[in-house]
């Protein structure tokens, strides 16, 4: 109320009167159409983007970033696991091929008998063959062979295989020809009709004798 006792006008009425009629009002109300405040919003967003300021809720941004990092970690873990599985599978297949070739090379001339190193296999002449080709001093006899890819590896009658001859081991003299020391021309005209040219699964050329069942590879560069 005023000092005179008269009730003053409502505050809302005073605001309305000043904004509409008086020239001494403290503020001015601006009316914006929909397209105008949409344009203003876009301008604000562009300005914030140029200044590197995010208008999003910080909690929302942090949650989204955490979800993206978790997804990236999950994908990386899956790829690493797949790579490990492929490596283990390839190693197992390679080891199986090496063991099979070593068994076949060590069991040559055994006929229908079980391959050496197989579980429950009985090879009566294995001990005698080992003693015959074993180096002096009781060391294990190592022999050389060539796999299907043309790589030389070493094996024993016990089924051990290695890409390189172990240190201190001696290569046994089996009395067989060295597969790298012969070529097709070395057999002359007399043996030319007994050897046939063939290719293995990897595309390497080798020579096969259908009469004796022998085969050998050309020397690889």
Domains of the chain by residue range: 11-50
Task: Provide mean pLDDT across the span 17-35.
Answer: 60
Rounded Cα distance, 208 and 186, in Å? 14
Alpha helices in the chain (DSSP H): 11-20, 34-50, 58-106, 126-133, 188-192
Task: Provide mean pLDDT across the span 100-108.
Answer: 75
What pLDDT, in 10s, does the model give residues 28-51? 556 667 777 788 888 888 888 888
Classify the C-alpha dihedral 36-39-43-49 as positive or negative: positive
How many residues can be counted in the chain? 221
Using the predicted structure, report yes or no on whether residue 74 has a pLDDT greater than 50: yes
Task: Provide mean pLDDT across the span 68-91.
Answer: 91
- Can you say how many angstroms the Cα of residue 202 is from the centroid of all Cα atoms in its chain? 22
- Predicted TM-score (pTM) of this structure: 0.27
Rounded Cα distance, 41 and 48, in Å? 11
Residue 163: which of 146, 175, 180 has the closest Cα? 146
Query: What pLDDT is attached to residue 69?
Result: 93
């Amino acid at each position: 109320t005023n000092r005179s006792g008269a009730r003053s006008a409502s505050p809302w009425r005073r605001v309305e009167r000043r904004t509409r009629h008086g020239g001494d009002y403290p503020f001015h109300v601006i009316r914006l159409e929909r397209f105008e405040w949409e344009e203003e919003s876009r301008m604000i967003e562009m300005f914030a983007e140029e200044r590197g300021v995010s208008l999003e809720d910080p909690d929302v941004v942090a949650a989204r970033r955490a979800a993206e990092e978790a997804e990236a970690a999950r994908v990386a873990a899956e790829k690493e696991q797949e790579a490990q599985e492929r490596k283990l599978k390839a190693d197992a297949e390679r080891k199986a091929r090496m063991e099979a070739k070593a068994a076949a090379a060590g069991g040559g001339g055994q006929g229908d008998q079980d391959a050496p190193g197989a579980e429950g296999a009985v090879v009566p002449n294995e001990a005698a063959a080992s003693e015959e080709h074993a180096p002096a001093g009781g060391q294990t006899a190592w022999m050389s062979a060539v796999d299907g890819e043309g790589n030389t590896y070493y094996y024993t009658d016990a089924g051990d295989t290695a890409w390189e001859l172990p240190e201190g081991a001696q290569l046994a003299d089996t009395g067989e020809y060295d597969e790298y020391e012969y070529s097709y021309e070395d057999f002359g005209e007399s043996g030319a009709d007994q050897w046939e040219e063939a290719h293995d699964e990897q595309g390497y050329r080798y020579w096969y004798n259908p009469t004796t069942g022998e085969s050998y590879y050309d020397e690889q560069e």
